[in-house]
Amino acid sequence: MMRRLLLLLLFVAAPVLAAEVTVYKSPTCGCCKEWVKHLQANGFTVVAKDVPDVEPYKDAHGVPPMLASCHTARVNGYTIEGHVPAVDIKRLLKERPQVRGLAVPGMPAGSPGMEGLFTQRYDVLTFDQDGRTAVYARH
């Protein structure tokens, strides 16, 4: 019985733990580098691609301008825009909602990669192919 439970847990967790995140970012952005470290510390394999302009990647993956941040990422068919916490990406990959992706617009203080002297509350939003958004998590 214990062996079956262990195998089930490995099967369920494997897609999330094995997820490779491709991050498109500026080569000079320090907070993007810190967000990459946050993902790696939370079990993600990250391929960071330094690009001269992230806008074409935002456009190609349907990120509405109002949700823009400093970096754009792709994981298992989803787009991740900005400083989205790893816990929310793991939840997204587990639940597999019918959305285009998750976004944290702007660069809120205290979000992963933006840690510092103070923290502000922020929302993680889902967005779909029509640009509709909904709150996915609050931090």
Q: What is the pLDDT of residue 19?
A: 84
DSSP conformation class of 101: E
Sheet containing strand 45-50, strands side by side: 45-50, 20-25, 72-75, 78-82, 101-104, 123-127, 133-138
**How many domains does one find in the chain?**
1
Q: Which domain holds residue 103?
A: 2-138
pTM of the model: 0.87
CA distance 124 to 120: 13
**CATH code (residue 10):** 3.40.30.10
What radius of gyration, in Å, describes the C-alpha atoms of the chain? 15
Asked if 126 and 63 count as a contact pair (C-beta separation under 8 A), the reply is no
**Closest by alpha carbon to 19, among 72, 79, 93?**
93
Block means of pLDDT (10 residues each) for the chain, 139 residues, are 45 57 96 97 97 97 96 98 98 98 97 94 97 96
Q: What is the pLDDT of residue 18?
A: 61
